[in-house]
Structure 1
Amino acid sequence: MGYENKLTAPALKFKNFLDKFPKLHNVYIISMISCISGLMFGFDISSMSAFIGTPSYVHYFKTPNSAMQGFITASMSLGSFVGSLLSSFVSEPFGRRASLFICSILWMIGAAIQSSAQNTTQLIFGRLISGFGMGFGSSVAPVYGSELAPRKVRGLIGGLFQFSVTLGIMIMFFISYGCGKITSAASFRIAWGIQIIPGLILFFGLFFVPESPRWLAKQGYWDEAEIVVANTQAKGNREDTDVLIEISEIKEQLMLEHDVKAFTFSKLFSKKYLPRTVVAVSAQIWQQLTGMNVMMYYIVYIFEMAGYSGNANLVSSAIQYVLNVVMTIPALFVMDKFGRRYVLLIGAVFMMAFQFGVGGLLATYSVPFPDSGSDSVTIRIPDSNKSAAKGVIACCYLFVCSFAASWGVGIWVYCAEVWGDNVSRQRGAALSTSANWIMNFAIAMFTPSAFKNITWKTYIIYAVFCVCMFIHVFFFFPETKGKRLEEIGQLWEENVPAWRSSSWQPTVPLLSDKELGNKMQVEHSEGGEEMLRSTDSHSEASETKEEHA
Structure 2
Amino acid sequence: MHEPQTDHLVAGDRDKKNTRSHESLNAAASATGAIEGLSPTSLAAFRLYLILLVPSMASVVVGYDISIMNYINGMEPYLSYFGLEGQGGGGGVGTTTALIFAMYTIGTCVTVLVAGPLCDRLGRRGGMFAGSLFCVVGGILVTVAKNVKYLKAGRFLLGVSTALLQVAAPLYCCEISPPQWRGRLTGIYAAFAILSTIVSGAVANATGHLTTSASWRIPFSLQIIPAAIVLFFVYFIPESPRWLMSVGRKDEARKILSRYHGNGNDNAPLVVLEYREFEESIKLDASSKPWWDYADLFKTRSDRYRTSIVLLLALCAQWSGSGLSSFLVVLLANDHISTQNLRLILTLISSIVSAIGALCGALILDKVGRRTLWFWGNLCCTIALIISGACTAKFSADANNLAGSNTAIAFLFLFTFFFCVTYVPLPALYASECMSFDNRANGVALYTFVSSTASLVNTYATPIALADIGWKLYYVFIAWDIFACVLIWFFAVETSGRTLEELNEVFLDKHPVRASRKPQQRKPTLIHLEEIGESK
Say yes or no: TM over 0.5.
yes
Counterpart contact for 1:138–1:433, Cα < 8 Å: yes
CA distance in 1, matches of 2:235, 2:45: 10
Counterpart contact for 2:138–2:156, Cα < 8 Å: yes
Q: Which moved more, 1:178-187 or 1:261-270?
A: 261-270
Candidates 35, 54, 76, aligned match of 2:56? 35
2:330 corresponding residue in structure 1: 301
SS in 1 for 2:470: coil
1:427 aligns with 2:457: no
Counterpart contact for 2:63–2:194, Cα < 8 Å: yes
- 1:243-302 Cα shifts (integer Å, max 9, x gaps): 11211221120232342666831111212411111110121111100112421x211101
1:345 aligns with 2:375: yes
Q: CA deviation at 1:500?
A: 4.4
Candidates 397, 400, 411, aligned match of 1:395? 411
Count, aligned residues: 485
CA distance in 1, matches of 2:529, 2:210: 62
Q: CA deviation at 1:35?
A: 2.2
Candidates 446, 449, 465, aligned match of 1:450? 465
CA distance in 2, matches of 1:278, 1:260: 24
- 1:177-214 Cα shifts (integer Å, max 9, x gaps): 11112111121112111111111111112122100000
1:270 corresponding residue in structure 2: 299
CA distance in 2, matches of 1:111, 1:262: 33
SS in 1 for 2:161: helix
Higher RCO, Cα 8 Å, sep 6+: 2
Counterpart contact for 1:31–1:160, Cα < 8 Å: no
SS in 2 for 1:89: helix
CA distance in 2, matches of 1:100, 1:310: 36
CA distance in 1, matches of 2:525, 2:273: 7
1:91/1:139 CA distance change after superposition, 3 Å: same
Counterpart contact for 1:254–1:260, Cα < 8 Å: no
1:320 aligns with 2:369: no
2:248 corresponding residue in structure 1: 220
1:343/1:461 CA distance change after superposition, 3 Å: same
- 1:458-487 Cα shifts (integer Å, max 9, x gaps): 112111111111111111111001112233
SS in 2 for 1:431: helix
Letter in 2 for 1:31: L
2:104 corresponding residue in structure 1: 76
CA distance in 1, matches of 2:117, 2:512: 34
Counterpart contact for 2:134–2:157, Cα < 8 Å: yes
- 1:415-462 Cα shifts (integer Å, max 9, x gaps): 11011x211111111111111111112101111111122222211211
Candidates 453, 467, 488, aligned match of 2:503? 488
Q: CA deviation at 1:162?
A: 2.2
Candidates 218, 226, 229, aligned match of 1:198? 226
Counterpart contact for 1:34–1:202, Cα < 8 Å: yes
SS in 2 for 1:502: coil
- 1:483-520 Cα shifts (integer Å, max 9, x gaps): 12233111211222425423599xxxx99687566545
CA distance in 2, matches of 1:318, 1:268: 40
Letter in 1 for 2:373: V
Counterpart contact for 2:201–2:344, Cα < 8 Å: no
SS in 1 for 2:211: coil
1:535 corresponding residue in structure 2: none
Residue correspondence of structure 1 range 408-419 to structure 2 within 5 A: 408-419=424-435
Which segments of 5 or more consecutive residues in structure 2 lack a partner in the other structure? 4-43, 86-92
1:366/1:2 CA distance change after superposition, 3 Å: closer
Counterpart contact for 1:114–1:123, Cα < 8 Å: yes
1:101/1:24 CA distance change after superposition, 3 Å: farther
CA distance in 2, matches of 1:503, 1:158: 20
TM-score (norm 1): 0.84
1:440 corresponding residue in structure 2: 455
RMSD: 2.3
Q: CA deviation at 1:242?
A: 1.2
CA distance in 1, matches of 2:450, 2:489: 21
Letter in 1 for 2:415: F
Q: Which moved more, 1:206-215 or 1:245-254?
A: 245-254
Q: CA deviation at 1:38?
A: 1.5
1:404/1:500 CA distance change after superposition, 3 Å: same
CA distance in 1, matches of 2:312, 2:282: 27
Counterpart contact for 1:143–1:416, Cα < 8 Å: yes
Counterpart contact for 1:478–1:502, Cα < 8 Å: yes
Counterpart contact for 2:509–2:515, Cα < 8 Å: no
Q: CA deviation at 1:330?
A: 1.7
Counterpart contact for 1:335–1:343, Cα < 8 Å: yes
1:62 aligns with 2:83: yes
SS in 2 for 1:50: helix
1:119 corresponding residue in structure 2: 147
SS in 1 for 2:501: helix
Identity among equivalent pairs (%): 25
1:262/1:79 CA distance change after superposition, 3 Å: closer
1:456/1:504 CA distance change after superposition, 3 Å: closer
Which segments of 5 or more consecutive residues in structure 1 lack a partner in the other structure? 4-22, 368-380, 525-549
Q: CA deviation at 1:160?
A: 2.6
- 1:48-89 Cα shifts (integer Å, max 9, x gaps): 111212221111001245121112112212212222221122
